[in-house]
Structure 1
Amino acid sequence: MYLPSFSLQGRTAIVTGAGRGIGRAIAVGLAEAGCDVALVSRTSADLEETAELIRSCTKAQTYIIPADITSKEEIAHVFAKVTRDAGNLDILVNNAGMNIRTPALEVTEDQWDTIVQTNLKSAFMASQQAGQYMKEHGGGRIINISSVGGHVALRTGVVYGSTKAALIQMTKILALEWGQYDIRVNSVGPWYFRTPLTEKLLSDEQYMKEIVDRTPLRRIGQLEEVVGPVIFLASDASNYVTGQTLLVDGGMSIYGF
């Protein structure tokens, strides 16, 4: 009687940055929970690989949509295609993101603009599109993939951390404004997971040791460990949760000296 449903059967999601890493894992996880998934990133070949993974283990429908998510016009095209072809949109996962690790005194204007546009501007524009559709169709879920780096300070990450902190605050404001439309907006903040973005860093034994020493669970995360929190926030199990950031960090953010 009291066990809520984690099933996403009959729902449709858009996942940005779905071609690799965390985005790919989330897309496959949503499909395994019963969701049809629109896969969005710049690179068609990566999206095809994600779609093939989904087809190999589920009966979910996939929609492959290569797009530059920093372009308002291309984002509008993504939403128009999904709502036309799938007939509905229930979930948006703003996962696309990037980092250029640079000491603060060396950050260039181009680096600032590139990271802000990818991590923050694109998430807002996609959320705006989703919010308009969901307002008119009875509600939905928006899940922003932020970072523990938006919650605590990390070295050489001033632009990245600033965008992720802004994404956490954006999550709260959108939740406040759109709750009246039954739109729930939450975020997930990962720590270190082995992805194409982090592979080079984590191959450095000393760097890996520093990460593990800073993490109470004494290891980095496994990709499937991000999926569960996203499924929770996308499903009826989180019906009374909005404006929150769930840190998936092995306890790193509670670390003290």
Structure 2
Amino acid sequence: MTSAFDLTGKVALVTGSSRGIGLGIATGLADAGATIVLNGVDPVRLEATRATLADRFGDDRVAARAFDIVDEDAVARAVASIESEVGAIDILVNNAGVQHREPLVEVSLDNWRRVLDTNLTGAFVVGRQVAGRMLPRHAGKIINICSVQTDLARPTIGPYTAAKGALRNLTRVMTAEWAAEGLQINGIAPGYIHTEMTQNLVDDDEFNSWILGRAPARRWGTVADVVGPTVWLASSASDYVNGQVVFVDGGMTVVV
């Protein structure tokens, strides 16, 4: 019997997947059987990641495309290339994102726009290009990677918080417009996940103690904690789930 979570034969594009959570998600989708297309803006790092995963899953199941997610022409070319050379995109994970830490009264307009563009507009640009291919096929899964900052706010990360809150409503709008054509669009909101990019926060005794006290699970999340829900939302097991944001945060957003 084939599992409802089996992604064999599916093609998945994961933005921002040369490292960190994006790489973990791409690896998890490949473990579930999908052919994966990695994305990043650094072609050297992207190719190194692709080669590593190709050693594990085979060259025929790991591809890579370097493009800027807010460059609509570049996105359109990349999506067309993937569809013609790899296969029809069945799964899109909008994961690429950046952070900027500075008080609102000090953050420059350029940095505000950079964070909003990468975390919100990029999901719109890539999502719309991929959905344009999915809609005539009446099938497709789009997963937007949100954050606990979709619901919560902390000082000094205003642009990121604004972008992730808006990403939840973009997920809802995509559902409102595309669900009738057979697409499922959902979000995953990770809490504080231990990766190489958050290692400095883990190493900060005060911040680490705050996380351990704030999350009912009393631990940091791992990339593996995010992978399972992503595979579920990418699979046929979630075919009647639409417009939802699943919080993977150890309970952080449900307590005061």
Same topology, TM > 0.5: yes
User: Identity percentage over the alignment?
Assistant: 38
Tell me which residue corresponds to 1:35.
Answer: 34
What SS does structure 2 have at the residue aligned with 1:13?
Answer: strand
Deviation at 1:51, TM superposition (A): 2.1
Letter in 2 for 1:198: T
Q: Distance in 1 between matches of 2:48 and 2:203?
A: 24
- Matching of residues 114-133 of structure 1 within 5 Å: 114-133=114-133
Tell me which residue corresponds to 1:52.
Answer: 51
Deviation at 1:50, TM superposition (A): 2.8
**CA contact 1:28–1:53 (8 Å) conserved in 2:** no
C-alpha RMSD over aligned residues: 1.5
**CA contact 2:195–2:222 (8 Å) conserved in 1:** no
**CA contact 1:186–1:242 (8 Å) conserved in 2:** yes
- Matching of residues 64-75 of structure 1 within 5 Å: 64-75=64-75
What SS does structure 2 have at the residue aligned with 1:5?
Answer: coil
User: How many residues end up aligned between the 2 structures?
Assistant: 255
Q: Distance in 2 between matches of 1:184 and 1:236?
A: 10
**CA contact 2:168–2:187 (8 Å) conserved in 1:** yes
- Matching of residues 152-167 of structure 1 within 5 Å: 152-167=152-167
Q: Distance in 1 between matches of 2:10 and 2:164?
A: 28
**CA contact 2:142–2:186 (8 Å) conserved in 1:** yes
Deviation at 1:157, TM superposition (A): 1.4
**CA contact 1:4–1:236 (8 Å) conserved in 2:** no
Q: Does structure 1 residue 148 correspond to structure 2 residue 164?
A: no
Deviation at 1:209, TM superposition (A): 0.8
Tell me which residue corresponds to 2:206.
Answer: 206
- Matching of residues 161-200 of structure 1 within 5 Å: 161-200=161-200
Q: Distance in 2 between matches of 1:70 and 1:134?
A: 20
Deviating more after overlay: 93-102 vs 68-77: 68-77
Deviating more after overlay: 159-168 vs 197-206: 197-206
Deviating more after overlay: 196-205 vs 92-101: 196-205
What SS does structure 2 have at the residue aligned with 1:105?
Answer: coil
Q: Distance in 2 between matches of 1:87 and 1:240?
A: 25
**CA contact 1:32–1:57 (8 Å) conserved in 2:** no
Q: Unaligned 5+ residue runs, structure 1? A: none
Q: Distance in 1 between matches of 2:77 and 2:24?
A: 24
Letter in 1 for 2:42: T
Letter in 2 for 1:190: P
Tell me which residue corresponds to 2:25.
Answer: 26
**CA contact 1:37–1:63 (8 Å) conserved in 2:** yes
TM-score, normalized by length of structure 1?
Answer: 0.95
Letter in 2 for 1:171: T
Deviation at 1:4, TM superposition (A): 5.7
**CA contact 2:217–2:250 (8 Å) conserved in 1:** yes
Deviation at 1:17, TM superposition (A): 0.2
**CA contact 1:15–1:27 (8 Å) conserved in 2:** yes
**CA contact 2:147–2:189 (8 Å) conserved in 1:** yes
Deviating more after overlay: 40-49 vs 247-256: 40-49
Q: Distance in 2 between matches of 1:197 and 1:151?
A: 22
**CA contact 2:94–2:144 (8 Å) conserved in 1:** yes
